[in-house]
Chain A
Amino acid sequence: MHFKQDRMTVKERINALFQNIKPDRVPLGSLSIGFQLINCGYALGDAYENAEKSFWATKWTAEQYGWDPISQLSMTAVFGAEDFGGRVRAPKSVYEGALVVESYPVQDEKDVDRLTMPDPKTAGRIPIAMRFAQLQAEHDLPVFFASRSPFTLAADISGVAPFCRWLLKKPELCERLIDLALEHITNVLRYWVETFGSERVFAWMIAPTESNQVISPRHFAKYAIPSLVEYQKRIQAMGIKRFGFHICGEQNLNLPILSEVLPWKHPSVLSFGHEVDLDVAAKYFPQDIIYGNIEPAVIQTGSPEDVYRLCKLAIEKGKKAPGGFVLGPSCGFPITPPPINVYAMTKAVHDFGWYE
């Protein structure tokens, strides 16, 4: 590799983004949880069960491909199904790409009232995520706290299909689950802040169930937005300065609603699915850092030329975003892409991503 020498350190580049200063070049994000484990010869399940392996695999892979730590995740610290008492296991089969929910804590309506708040320090995989965060802190990296949105986490407690039915038939059950989810996320986030200090914590949120592939913008406004606003109030009250939001999948119909509410502090990182045009994203959110949006299926199944071409287009659009831009995948990084396709993203950033 003969790339032009970076003029900023990784830390300087990320700091510049948040100060609304043009960095030396477009940062490269990864949204990767599993690829790095396979890349380093570990089992995918280690991403969810072994913080040390997960951390070192992430560190080495980030160095190999020039990934900037925005975001750098082991996994989401909170899992609705597992933390509230359901059964979840790490991926085993070659085709399993993430945690597998074997049973949900809520099987029927009556179970909703029986739910109790999980321990924010010991439930589910929180201790593993905390260990990963400690390693980030020890290595002077941003300490990420990754969670699902309250709405998505609520649907994870009951399963998406029952949750969707209740949205129309028994919305009070959904509201109760959303309240519980919000409290749980906040409690665990508070644990992160108490451990590392608010200055070091980078809160990252993922919201797939809000996508318009699942719910209407009407339901998004009515049920997802209030908890999102409340979560932001709490994040800001805790003194957290950095926030990233993966607006997962097709959310074009939700964007006008989100852009009117704008509950987060600016700039925040807003990561978009490939279904959202980056120009459209930048127009709706000019004060924020736009992140995206290379389709994971292309990284997984396309040629390096395909990936490189998509990255070039994304960089050309993204560099015009007034709030800044990070090149990255449009959703979770694929687990087993051809390594040359991963390199194609790095090459594109170095070929087209420099700010003059």
Chain B
Amino acid sequence: MVSKERTQEIFKGLSQAVISYNEETSVELSKQALEEGIDPYDAVMNGLAAGMQRVGELYAESYYFVPELLLCSDALYAGLNILQPHIKTKEKEFSTKEQIVIGVVEGDIHDIGKNLVKVMFEAAGWSVHDLGKSVKLERFAEEQLKTNSEIVAISALMTTSMLAIPKVIEMVKAQNPNVGLLVGGAPITRDIAMAYGADGYAGDASSAVQEAYRILQCLRNKKNR
């Protein structure tokens, strides 16, 4: 039985590996966690995901920028690839109770921001259905229906492609008015997002998860009324 101290040491090491974007250490410590009998779900949530949460804070503080975020997400995925196959189904279900469909709208191939938002949701334990970039508008509603996701996140980086966003929102809402729509991307502001009929807006990757939880809370409150 692994000691509490050792478990904490591994968690801290995993977290630090993500923050310092060290893929090798992330892999090594993930393997050690499994070998030493540490629960892989705990290793993900208290180690890798905790590290990514700190990375989000560093980004919000303008200490980290996109290059750092990309490498931190590489370190996160390197560890996840080792640990995730060993997470028991029940925990998997627990860990992925919230689901999100995410994509960049048709006509737009800029997906760095979307990928960073994706990693933040994965680090927070969400199940992410990534449609990729330049996604046909109807695909958002189709994927939401297929996965029964609570949130659909839509991004655009251009003033031409942003015009597709209200159409996607309309399609998703027509199919299921209880789905939360989260919008982001360089030309979008909160005012524009609201005018488009979105339920929430995130200006960057670090605030997207929090905004999604806020939307979920609003939707649940509405449902309970």
Contact check: which of B65, B107, B115, B189 meets A297 at CB < 8 Å? Answer: B189
Number of B interface residues at 8 Å Cβ cutoff, please give it.
30
Q: A165-B70, A168-B68 are in contact. Are A98 and B158 (CB under 8 A)?
A: yes
Q: Given the complex of chains A and B, what is the CA–CA distance between A164 and B109 in angstroms? A: 17
9-residue interface stretch from B1-9, B159-167, B207-215: B159-167
Q: How many residues of A contact B (CB 8 A)?
A: 34
> Bound state CA distance, A336 and B162, in angstroms?
11
Does A296 have its Cβ within 8 Å of any Cβ on chain B?
Answer: yes
Q: How far does the Cβ of A6 sit from chain B's closest Cβ, in whole Å? A: 30
How far, in Å, is B104 (CB) from chain A's closest CB?
11
Complex interface: stretch among A105-113, A207-215, A239-247, A255-263: A207-215
Q: In the complex, what's the smallest C-beta–C-beta distance from B82 to chain A, in angstroms?
A: 21
Contact between A96 and B65, CB atoms less than 8 A apart: no
Q: Name the contact of B162 in the complex, choosing from A168, A219, A297 (C-beta under 8 A).
A: A297
Q: Is the CB of A95 within 8 A of B161?
A: yes
Bound-complex Cα distance A334 to B158 (A): 8
Our pick among A169, A212, A215, A335 for the contact of B159 (Cβ within 8 Å) is A335
Q: How far is the CB of A7 from chain B (nearest CB, A)?
A: 34
Whether B105 is near chain A, meaning CB under 8 Å from some CB there, is yes
Q: How far is the CA of A215 from the CA of B66 in the complex (A)?
A: 6
Query: Which partner residue on chain B sits nearest A159 by CB separation?
Result: B112
Could you tell me if A296 and B160 are in contact, using CB atoms closer than 8 angstroms?
no
Instruction: Tell me if A160 and B107 are in contact (CB < 8 A).
Output: no
Q: Which of A86-110 contact B (CB under 8 A)?
A: 91, 93-98, 100-101
Consensus secondary structure, chain A interface: loop
A168-B21, A297-B187 are known contacts. Are A219 and B67 too (CB-CB below 8 A)? Answer: yes
> Which B residues are CB-close (under 8 A) to A19?
none
Please pick, from A216, A296, A332, the residue contacting B65 in the complex, using a CB distance under 8 A.
A216
Is the Cβ of B65 less than 8 Å from the Cβ of A212?
Answer: yes
B174 is an interface residue with CB less than 8 A from chain A: no
Report whether B67 and A215 are in contact in the complex, using a CB–CB cutoff of 8 Å.
Answer: yes
| Cβ contacts under 8 Å, A335 to chain B | 159-160
Q: Taking CB as reference atom, which chain A residue is nearest B109? A: A100
Residues of A183-233 at the interface with B, using a CB-CB cut-off of 8 Å, are: 212-216, 219
Contact of A15 with B by CB under 8 A: no
The answer to whether A300 and B159 touch (CB under 8 A), given A215-B67, A253-B62, is yes
A residues less than 8 Å from B112 (CB atoms): 160-161, 164
> Is A167 on the interface with B (CB-CB < 8 A)?
yes
Docked complex Cα distance between A212 and B162 (Å): 22
Whole-angstrom distance between the Cβ of A214 and the nearest chain B Cβ: 5
B65 touches A95 (CB 8 A): no
A301 CB–B CB distance under 8 Å = yes
Instruction: Give A100 to B71 CA distance when docked, in angstroms.
Output: 26
**Complex contacts, B109 vs chain A, CB 8 Å:** 100-101
Of the listed residues A91, A300, A301, the one surrounded by the most CB atoms of chain B closer than 10 A to its CB is: A301
**Contact of B159 with A297 in the complex, beta carbons under 8 Å:** yes
**CB-CB < 8 A to B28: which residues of A?**
none
The answer to whether A214 and B66 have CB atoms under 8 Å apart is yes
Docked CA distance A164–B65 (Å): 10
Instruction: Indicate if the CB atoms of B160 and A97 lie closer than 8 Å.
Output: yes
Residues of chain A with a CB closer than 8 A to B143's CB:
none
Asked if A249 is an interface residue, CB under 8 A from chain B, the answer is yes
B 110-126 to A, binary, CB cutoff 8 A, 1 in contact else 0? 00100100000000000
A101 contact set on B, CB distance < 8 A: 109
For B110, the closest partner residue in chain A by CB is: A160
Q: Can you name the residue of chain A whose Cβ is closest to the Cβ of B157?
A: A97
User: Is A96 within 8 A of B71, CB to CB?
Assistant: no
Complex Cα–Cα for A161 and B112 (A):
7
Measured in the bound complex, the distance between the Cα atoms of B66 and A167 in whole Å is 10
Q: How far is the CB of A42 from chain B (nearest CB, A)?
A: 15
Report yes or no: A219 in contact with B65, Cβ–Cβ below 8 A: yes
Across the A-B interface, give the 7 residue pairs with the lowest CB-CB distance, nearest first: A95-B107, A97-B160, A164-B67, A334-B159, A96-B107, A297-B187, A97-B158
Additional A-B contacts beyond A98-B158, A168-B67, A334-B159 (7; CB < 8 A): A94-B107, A95-B163, A97-B107, A168-B71, A216-B64, A296-B159, A297-B189
- Listed A/B pairs (18) with beta-carbon separation below 8 Å: A93-B106, A94-B107, A95-B107, A95-B160, A96-B161, A101-B109, A161-B112, A165-B70, A168-B71, A213-B186, A219-B67, A296-B159, A296-B187, A297-B162, A297-B188, A300-B159, A300-B187, A301-B162
Chain B contact residues, CB within 8 Å of chain A: 21, 62, 64-68, 70-71, 74, 105-109, 112, 115, 158-164, 186-189, 192, 195
